[in-house]
């Protein structure tokens, strides 16, 4: 689809777009948006990258914004591209997507502003048991991912403003922030809302606040 190819190129090079514009063009639930996302992801070479390194490359290029389901659609495209670049690295695209979401949740747990005990490596591994298409992910892979995120928080690309207050779209080395408050999870919350249960939700598994899986 020539129009999708042209738009993907402009989005990647930020030709007429800001980093905060990219996600909404990749996350729509229609055939054209999916075609644009597929073409956009072709600009990323994840071959031989660990999953966290590939995710860092991806998140530095644009701002992952929108509703939760929209952000998740973008990560689905990322997961497909990762597996295309590294066939056989995981059992399926869905397994890559599950692990990608888990990495972002881990980043929030370890580096967010929440007060309390942080998730341990063993808990991270236990929470992912059986989620690699009903098999376990390789333990050494999960350990490597845990320590990579613990030592080096994920970073997030932002638009920046010049001295006149106008938004600049150019990429710069320092044009990122730590993903301590994970935008993948941000949702509006009323100040008067009652919190009945606090914890983590990842795909079909629920987690208590202490990171223990309960189902």
DSSP lists the bridge partners of residue 213 as 207
Q: Is 41 helix (H, G, I), strand (E, B) or coil?
A: helix
Calpha distance 178→107 (Å, rounded): 9
Is-catalytic flag, 140? no
Rg of the chain taking only CA atoms, in angstroms? 18
- On whether the pTM is more than 0.85, the answer is no
Q: What mean pLDDT do residues 33-60 have?
A: 96
Angle 28-30-35 (CA atoms, 0-180°, nearest 5)? 90
Helix, strand, coil share (%) of the chain residues, nearest 5: 45, 10, 45
Of the candidates 38, 39, 47, 67, the residue annotated as catalytic is: 67
User: Which pLDDT band, with edges at 50, 70 and 90, does 116 fall under?
Assistant: confident
Q: What is the pLDDT of residue 211?
A: 53
Q: What mean pLDDT do residues 178-187 have?
A: 41
Angle 179-209-23 (CA atoms, 0-180°, nearest 5)? 30
User: Which pLDDT band, with edges at 50, 70 and 90, does 78 fall under?
Assistant: very high
Angle 211-114-155 (CA atoms, 0-180°, nearest 5)? 95
What CATH number has the domain spanning 48-159+173-182+196-208?
1.10.1000.11
Q: Are 205 and 101 in contact (CB under 8 A)?
A: no
Burial category of 94 from C-beta neighbours within 10 Å (exposed 0-12, middle 13-18, buried 19 and up): middle
Q: How far is CA 47 from the centre of its chain?
A: 18
Least confident of 43-47, 73-77, 156-160, 209-213: 209-213
Extended beta strands in the chain, E state: 155-157, 160-161, 167-168, 176-178, 199-202, 205-208
Q: What mean pLDDT do residues 200-215 have?
A: 50
| Domain segments of the chain as ranges | 48-159+173-182+196-208
């Amino acid at each position: 689809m020539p129009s999708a190819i042209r738009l993907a190129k402009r989005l990647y090079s930020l030709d007429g777009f800001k980093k905060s514009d990219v996600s909404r063009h990749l996350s729509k639930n229609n055939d054209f948006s999916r075609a644009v996302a597929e073409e956009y992801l072709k600009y990323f070479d994840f071959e031989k990258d660990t999953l966290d390194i590939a995710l860092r490359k991806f998140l530095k290029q644009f701002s992952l914004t929108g509703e939760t389901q929209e952000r998740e659609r973008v990560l689905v495209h990322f997961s497909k591209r990762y597996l295309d670049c590294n066939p056989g690295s995981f059992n399926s695209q869905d397994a890559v997507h599950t692990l990608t979401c888990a990495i972002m949740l881990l980043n929030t747990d370890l580096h967010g502003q929440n007060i309390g005990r942080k998730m341990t490596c063993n808990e991270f591994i236990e929470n992912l048991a059986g989620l690699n298409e009903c098999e376990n992910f390789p333990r050494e892979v999960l350990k490597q991912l845990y320590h990579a995120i613990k030592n080096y928080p994920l970073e997030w690309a932002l638009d920046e403003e010049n001295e006149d207050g106008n938004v600049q779209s150019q990429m710069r080395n320092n044009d990122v922030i730590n993903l301590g408050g994970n935008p993948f999870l941000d949702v509006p919350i009323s100040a008067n809302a009652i919190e009945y249960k606090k914890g983590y939700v990842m795909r079909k598994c629920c987690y208590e606040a202490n990171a223990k899986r309960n189902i």
